[in-house]
Amino acid sequence: MLTRTYALLSLSIEQKRVHNLLSSAQHLLQISVVDQRLDNSTLKLVIKKFARLAASCRKRKVDIYILPALRNATHQADARLGQMASSRLIGRQLLDAVKAWAKLVIDGNETETTLMHALIVRRCDDLLDRLTTEEIELLPLAQQVISNDVWFDMGAEFLLTDTVRKAHQSAARTALNRATSPHKTTASSLAFSDPLISLAVSGYAYSSNPA
């Protein structure tokens, strides 16, 4: 049960991360346009924000694990899934549109810039609609129809990928700390001070015990 709980927690954290990245990117784009702060440094920052969002959409657990498992478990969601573009595709389209918009801004093409900005807004709405559909319809259905064994396998996979990601992030923070501070912090202590990883390790250990 703890492994399934960890899988759901990991999905929830991932959903919130994408929501936060989308909101942050939209906000920066909006204030840049409204305040006419469209210098090169601001444009680069906007592109960077949407690049982070696109990167987050590329390897989402919902797309890689949950939706295939849902298709295998039931046909109830087939119509809905057939209507939805992948978040990876939406993220890539968003980033491409933002890059095109930035180039139009630099070129001074106001009409095309306005049209491209409208396209970006629509793509942001598309991604938000997809996240909402996942949370209201698809994830609740997945909890009902996907077997415990499949949830266990997915939870173990989530544990592995999350632990590797946390270790990489901790190593990067440790390197930065060593460059800016005399105090030394180990990557392992950073990784296992994280409550998500602590739960994951305890859940994995519990689930791995023989019955």
- For 84-118, how does the pLDDT look when each residue is reduced to its tens digit (9 = 90+)? 888 999 999 999 999 999 999 999 999 999 999 99
Domains contained in the chain, number: 1
pLDDT at 168: 76
Amino acid identity for residue 37 in this structure: R
* pTM, rounded to two decimals: 0.78
| Cα distance between residue 199 and residue 211, in whole Å | 20
Q: In which domain, by residue range, is 48 found? A: 2-208
In this structure, what CATH number is given to the domain that contains residue 20? 1.20.120
Of 173 and 126, the structure prediction assigns the larger pLDDT to: 126
pLDDT per residue as tens digits for the range 141-152: 999 999 999 999
Question: CB within 8 A of 200, min separation 6: which ones?
Answer: 6, 10, 159, 162, 163
Residue spans of alpha helices (H) in 86-147: 87-107, 110-133, 139-145
pLDDT at 197: 45
Q: Average model confidence (pLDDT) for the chain?
A: 86
